[in-house]
């Protein structure tokens, strides 16, 4: 069991609190979702909508992986990698749009059917933590890598930036008790759907066009970095700081406040050390395997943080998935053999995915049992009477 009895008890008193000041969200997306959700019968469970949106992104990622396994398809100098077919980009438009729409409608369906529960929020945000890396993979397929595209290290940096922003949003809530929804989320989802449509109409060459001697791709990457490093991250730290000044937050000690970030720092050091000293240039040779491993372990860290902040309990200092990562890094660097390193990465990635799925299934089942509800059904279960 992953959730303790004390943590389960903490969910009983949990109240959702969020602040969303995004003009796009308030004046465009929410009015649209308020109408779109009405097409769903009231017997459709909100969690089913959440999971369906997740499966759409899984489908998108699987198809892009098949046609673009190494993210070279959009780089014109690699003629041995055929370009991604237009129908795939249209599929991405469909999956991106409806995944975002379902993610926006699930909470409204919960309130519409009177089935809101802490498990719904945990299920939604936990799945979102994994989806972030899939969003990044879509960006990589749009731009490609190589001389005409980006580098594997740029992809590595983008993934870490996106995952860190998501982690800090929930770290912010862990310390303030309020989820400040970032402006960038809905904006990025809409832009990605439009970017996929541009690829379908004009091909990926459009992103290599020059404006004042600089490729469009470079402008987008600068905007992406700036929105995360110069805006989203500082805002999270500022909101936590204000909660201490105004005494409206959890008022934890400095050490306790930063505990949720310890595991991610360790993971960053381990992965970066591995990539930098890799005997087989593993990040360049197997970028999808490496970045999938990074995304999964960070998703698990975020999920555990969400459990802690929702149950008002102390976040664990070290994530248990650090151990298999440490073993894989140690074996790879000790033997210094590219073949051994490649197998270590593949075994690690598959293991992390399976362990993360097991964690998610068990946690959701535990919480559903505690709350007396079904995961994918509106119908309530009867709670067992204590003798």
Encode pLDDT of 294-327 as tens digits. 999 999 999 999 999 999 999 989 999 999 999 9
- Look at 29 and 148; give whichever has higher pLDDT: 29
**Structure confidence by residue, pLDDT tens digits, 67-110:** 999 888 777 655 677 889 999 999 999 999 999 999 999 999 99
The residue with greater pLDDT, 16 or 332, is 332
| Residue 227 confidence (pLDDT) | 82
Q: What pLDDT score was predicted for residue 384?
A: 47
Give percent of the chain with pLDDT exceeding 90.
67
What's the CA gap between 152 and 155, in Å, rounded?
5
Q: Is the confidence at residue 193, as pLDDT, over 80? A: yes
Superfamily for domain range 18-371:
CDP-alcohol phosphotransferase transmembrane (TM) domain (1.20.120.1760)
- Please state, rounded to an integer, the average pLDDT across all residues of the chain: 90
Q: What is this structure's pTM?
A: 0.93
* HEC readout, the chain: CCCCHHHHHHHCCCCCCEEECCHHHHHHHHHHHHHHHHHCCCCCCHHHHHHHHHHHHHHHHHHHHHHCCCCCCCCCCCCCCCCCCHHHHHHHHHHHHHHHHHHHHHHHHHHHHCCCCHHHHHHHHHHHHHHHHHHHHHHHHHHCECCCCECHHHHHHHHHHHHHHHHHHHHHHHHHCCEEECHHHHHHHHHHHHHHHHHHHHCHHHHHCEECCEEHHHHHHHHHHHHHHHHHHHHHHHHHHHHHHCCCCCCCCHHHHHHHHHHHHHHHHHHHHHHHHCCCCHHHHCHHHHHHHHHHHHHHHHHHHHHHHHHCCCCCCCCCCHHHHHHHHHHHHHHCCHHHHHHHHHHHHHHHHHHHHHHHHHHHHHHHHHHCECCCCCCECCCCCCC
Tokens representing residue 296 in the block? 């999964």
Q: What is the pLDDT of residues 265-296, one digit of tens each?
A: 999 999 999 999 999 999 999 999 999 999 99
Confidence at residue 385, expressed as pLDDT on a 0 to 100 scale:
39
Termini Cα distance of the chain: 24
Residue 379: pLDDT band by 50, 70, 90 thresholds? low
* Whole-number pLDDT of residue 380: 58
| Measured distance CA(304)–CA(281) in Å, rounded | 32
Average pLDDT estimate for 158-162: 93
**239: which 2 tokens?**
């909101």
**For 5-47, how does the pLDDT look when each residue is reduced to its tens digit (9 = 90+)?**
889 999 988 888 888 888 999 999 999 999 999 999 999 999 9
Asked whether the predicted pLDDT for residue 382 surpasses 50, the reply is: no
What residue segments make up the domains of the chain, in order of their start? 18-371
Q: What is the pLDDT of residue 78?
A: 59
Among 43-57, 226-240, 271-285, 352-366, where is mean pLDDT lowest?
226-240
Which is it for the CA torsion 277, 282, 285, 287, positive or negative? negative
């Amino acid at each position: 069991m992953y959730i303790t009895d004390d943590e389960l008890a903490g969910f009983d008193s949990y109240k959702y609190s969020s602040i969303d000041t995004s003009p796009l969200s308030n004046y465009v997306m929410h009015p649209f979702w308020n109408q779109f959700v009405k097409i769903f019968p009231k017997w459709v469970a909100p969690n089913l909508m959440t999971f369906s949106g997740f499966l759409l992104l899984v489908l998108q990622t699987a198809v892009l992986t098949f046609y673009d396994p190494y993210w070279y398809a959009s780089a014109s100098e690699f003629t041995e990698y055929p370009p991604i077919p237009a129908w795939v980009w249209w599929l991405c438009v469909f999956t991106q749009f409806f995944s975002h729409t379902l993610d926006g409608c699930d909470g409204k369906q919960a309130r519409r059917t009177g089935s809101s529960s802490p498990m719904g929020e945990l299920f939604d945000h936990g799945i979102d933590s994994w989806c972030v890396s899939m969003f990044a993979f879509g960006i990589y397929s749009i731009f490609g890598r190589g001389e005409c595209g980006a580098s594997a290290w740029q992809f590595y940096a983008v993934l870490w930036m996106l995952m860190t922003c998501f982690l800090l949003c929930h770290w912010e809530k862990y310390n303030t008790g309020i989820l400040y929804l970032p402006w960038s989320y809905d904006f990025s989802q809409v832009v990605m759907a439009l970017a996929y449509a541009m690829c379908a109409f004009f091909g990926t060459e459009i992103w290599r066009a020059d404006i004042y001697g600089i490729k469009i791709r470079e402008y987008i990457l600068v905007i992406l970095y700036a929105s995360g490093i110069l805006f989203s991250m500082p805002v999270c730290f500022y909101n936590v700081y204000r909660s201490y000044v105004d005494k409206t937050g959890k008022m934890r000690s400095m050490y306790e406040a930063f505990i949720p970030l310890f595991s991610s720092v360790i993971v960053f050091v381990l992965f970066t050390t591995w990539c930098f000293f890799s005997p087989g240039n593993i990040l360049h040779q197997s970028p999808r395997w490496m970045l999938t491993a990074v995304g999964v372990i960070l998703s698990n860290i975020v999920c555990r943080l969400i459990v802690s902040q929702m149950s008002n309990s102390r976040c664990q200092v070290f994530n248990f998935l650090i151990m298999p990562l440490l073993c894989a890094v140690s074996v790879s660097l000790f033997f210094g053999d590219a073949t051994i390193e490649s197998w270590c990465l593949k075994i690690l990635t598959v293991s992390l995915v399976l362990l993360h799925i097991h964690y998610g299934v068990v946690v959701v089942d535990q919480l559903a049992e505690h709350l007396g509800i079904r995961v994918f059904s509106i119908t309530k279960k009867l709670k067992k009477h204590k003798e």
